Structure 1
């Protein structure tokens, strides 16, 4: 994990890759729980038998499940000391170039795109790329917006 002493040090990393989270496996239980939480029970996610005969040969994680992992990856990738709080304020752009098959291992990598003043604090744009171990294309690329308050 990369650690920054304060927002000034974080700002100096603009344009830099900040590092990677640890790898984590995406399980069928996780996919099923996400389906329950979102009421999205499409067979490609929750029916291993039918999905085995489908286009991916296995169930796949929901795109939004993959995106939701970004919030877990970011604190594993970097930390900024001296903050009162950091708040997720949204996304600029999200893409899902490739699926995440059940049992795959994924990790997030982050790049600081921008950090600018905001009336409430500093607004960061961090591009997070969710990689699938052994795959060429990422599963998700998202520009996250976070407000940091000191």
Structure 2
């Protein structure tokens, strides 16, 4: 875990890969719970037997499930002691270059692209996040994620 004592210390890292998260396993239970919470019950995710005969040979995680792990990746990789509060500000670009079969492990690589001062002495951060699948040759997800931090 990378620790920053202040927002200014973090802002000095623009242009650098700042952190790599812990691995998160994608279980069928996690996929099923995501399907239940979003209403997306497409068979390629939740019907194990049918998915085995499908195009990927196994059930795969929803792309949005993979994307929804970004906060967990950040949480395991960064400790920003100078931030009292942070909020998700949005996404600029998201792609899912390769599927995530159930049983895969994912982690995030975070590169700080931009750090801009905002109201209340805050900082708006733009991150490039590459979600890697262990043993995969292409990323599972590539996203530009924005967050706002406040001291």
Same fold (TM over 0.5): yes
Match of 1:135?
A: 136
Structure-2 residue corresponding to 1:88: 88
Residue 57 of structure 1 corresponds to 57
Q: What is the distance in 2 between the residues matched to 1:12 and 1:108?
A: 21
Asked if 2 retains the 8 angstrom alpha-carbon contact of 1:17 and 1:110, the reply is yes
Structure 2: distance between partners of 1:16 and 1:56: 35
Determine the structure 1 residue equivalent to 2:116: 116
- C-alpha distance in structure 1 between counterparts of 2:138 and 2:54, whole Å: 20
Query: Runs of 4 or more off by more than 3 Å in structure 1?
Result: none
User: How big is each residue's C-alpha offset from its partner over 1:18-45, in whole Å with a ceiling of 9 and x where there is no partner?
Assistant: 1211112100000000000001100000
Instruction: Give the TM-score normalised by structure 2.
Output: 0.96
Partners of 1:100 and 1:20 in 2: CA distance: 19
Instruction: Give unpaired runs (5+ residues) of structure 2.
Output: none
**1:61-72 pair list within 5 angstroms:** 61-72=61-72
Query: How much is the aligned-residue C-alpha RMSD, in angstroms?
Result: 0.9
Residue 148 of structure 2 is matched in structure 1 by: 147
The alpha carbon displacement at 1:69 in A equals 0.5
State whether residues 4 and 82 of structure 2, in contact with CA within 8 Å, keep that contact through their aligned partners in structure 1: no
Q: What residue is the counterpart of 1:4 in the other structure?
A: 4
Alpha-carbon distance between aligned partners in 1 of 2:50 and 2:27, rounded to the nearest angstrom: 17
Show the counterpart of 1:125.
126
CA distance in 1, matches of 2:93, 2:105: 23
Confirm or deny: 8 A CA contact 1:77 1:109 kept in the other structure: no
Deviation of the 1:119 alpha carbon: 2.4
In the other structure, the counterpart of 1:40 is 40
